[in-house]
Structure 1
Amino acid sequence: MPKIAGITMIFLIFTLVFFFNPTAAFSFNIPEKFEYELTWTGVKAGTATLEIARTGNDVKIISTAQSAKWVSVFYTVDNRVETILAKQSSLIFLGEPVNYRLRIREGKHRRDKEVIFNSGNKVTYIDHINKEKHSFDVPSLIFDPLSSFYYLRTLKLVVGEPVYITTFDSKKVWNVEVQVLRKEKVTLPTGTVETILIKPLMKSEGIFYKKGDIYIWLTDDEKRIPVKLQTKVAIGSINALLVGGRY
């Protein structure tokens, strides 16, 4: 069976950072929580969540992924990613990221990294496992891999028109192309919904422990709810289907 590291890559794929668009305006709810069932070749392999909430004047976004008990016997997945946004500018829809923390446990693989967004167009990258600390220059408006997805949800997506994006990850600033492929219907436990299928073309090799094509189905409405996600692995694919939450 292939490693199910793809559970985390499904959510970390959201490195979709756009330069400021004055027409962007979020229409999703806060608080908001998505709950997913993860399957590998049709068999339940784990669960995942994606959640946003306000904490005082800040906004916190949390993504988690856990392997099912039968998978954990031989390959445990227990991942948590958090980002905090602070309202530093009226131009930013939710705020600018101030702290990003990623903790990964996938089998024997461990990662614990943090990015602190400083003033003066700089970020501090900390690798807590390898005891590394570095400072990098970045553009004036930049997001981490998790918060950038929520900004994506505010933007207009047109089939056939790719979107070019920017993000800081793995000690670098990356440009990413997101292809807007087509419109499709997706069947959920609650019924069938109209969606827009997108495919981010990742170049940041440090984000994922494994690589593969990623597909994301967003509802074709103002909320842009991620109802389905899919990533290819060595054998078959891992799918995440929205099965619950509050939104």
Structure 2
Amino acid sequence: MKKYYLILIMLACFSAAFSQEVTKTNEVAFQAGEQITYKLKYGIFTAAEAVIKVENSPVKFNNHPALHIFADAKTAGTFNLLFKVRNKYETFIDPHTLMPYYYSEQRQEGSYKHSDKVTFDHDNGVITADKGKFPFKGNVFDFLSAYYFARNIDVSKLKTGDKLNMRYFLEDGIHTMTITFIGREQVKCGLGTFNCLKFNPTIIPGRIFRKNSKLYLWITDDKNRIPVKAHVELVVGSLVMDLTQASGLKYPLNPVKK
């Protein structure tokens, strides 16, 4: 994996709090019609925006129904001149197990372009992508399906300091991210102040992350389990992901009343 700066930040923000050892809740936390919008800010400037939508899919997989989830991520304003990003992602998942059937992406990050089409064969434990076939065991996701599965884990037994592992497929293979549960606290975002679960996903140092860079993620401590804010330190400055719009939710958002 070479140039994947924006997707790596989004992946860490959207996919935290999943582990093979945790239990999925019986009731799904989202529904068709949901739309969520995030802004990524660099200081006082809006660097990028991401919109994620959920729809019922007219396409079936092995005669099974599916939910279609798709996301658009793009840089904004001056950042289009510095490093233009136009990324599109989509995944089709089982509406009950939330496991992915099919994933695709089209990424344009500066002069770099990349596309991929990924099929998940869970019965035979094989992922088929443009770069070949990849055997796997257990649960493996693309970053969009990981985000939506993560919203449905049972966090009732999580203790401060617990470390979770998330496995996802991206571009050239299966990767693992370690996430530490920090605890519970209130955090303010564009839609108000919320009671949240706080996580610290591990960051791999590189061209945009320092060796000791920290990433913190806050997820609503309610039935929605929506990431409302994230803060990641860069080589120069930091990025903040902020929830700015949410509609079609299965459950109402409940900001803290001041």
TM-score, length-scaled by structure 2: 0.78
2: distance between equivalents of 1:8 and 1:222?
Answer: 26
Identity value in percent: 23
**Which one-letter code corresponds to 1:182 in the other structure?**
G
Q: Which has the higher mean CA deviation after the structures are superposed, 11-20 or 188-197?
A: 11-20
* Aligned residue number for residue 254 of structure 2: none
Q: Which residue of 1 aligns with 2:76?
A: 68
Trace 1:45-56 onto structure 2 (pairs within 5 A). 45-56=47-58
What amino acid is the match of 2:76?
A
- Please list, as runs of the form range in 1=range in 2, the aligned pairs for 1:205-244 lying within 5 A after superposition: 210-211=208-209, 213-244=214-245
* Alignment gaps of 5+ in structure 2: 59-64, 250-258
CA distance in 2, matches of 1:146, 1:187: 24
C-alpha contact (below 8 Å) 1:54/1:60 kept by paired residues: yes
Name the structure 2 match of 1:151: 149
Read off the aligned partner of 1:81 and give its amino acid letter: Y
Instruction: Provide, for residues 162-208 of structure 1, a one-character-per-residue CA deviation record: whole Å limited to 9, x for no partner.
Output: 222333334333333211112222223332111111122256x9xx9
User: Which residue identity does 2:114 align to in structure 1?
Assistant: R
2:132 to 127, 131, 134: 134
Q: Is 1:10 the counterpart of 2:9 in the alignment? A: yes
Instruction: Provide structure 1 residue ranges, at least 5 long, that are not aligned to the other structure.
Output: 127-132
Give the conservation status (yes or no) of the 8 Å contact 1:178–1:201.
Answer: yes
| Kept after mapping to 2: 8 A contact 1:83/1:101 | yes
Aligned to 1:130: none
Rate the CA distance shift 1:102–1:180 in 2: closer, same or farther, 3 A.
same
- Note closer, same or farther for the CA distance 1:238–1:143 as it changes in structure 2 (3 Å cut): same
1:210 & 1:116 partners in 2: Cα distance? 30
Alpha carbons of 1:141 and 1:75: their partners in 2 closer, same or farther (altered >3 Å)?
closer
Q: How many residues align?
A: 230
2:24·2:154 contact (CA, 8 Å) conserved in 1? no
Residue correspondence of structure 1 range 69-218 to structure 2 within 5 A? 69-86=77-94, 92=97, 94=98, 96-118=99-121, 119-126=123-130, 133-157=131-155, 158=158, 159-201=160-202, 210-211=208-209, 213-218=214-219
Q: More strand per residue: 1 or 2? A: 1
RMSD: 2.7
1:105 CA displacement = 1.3
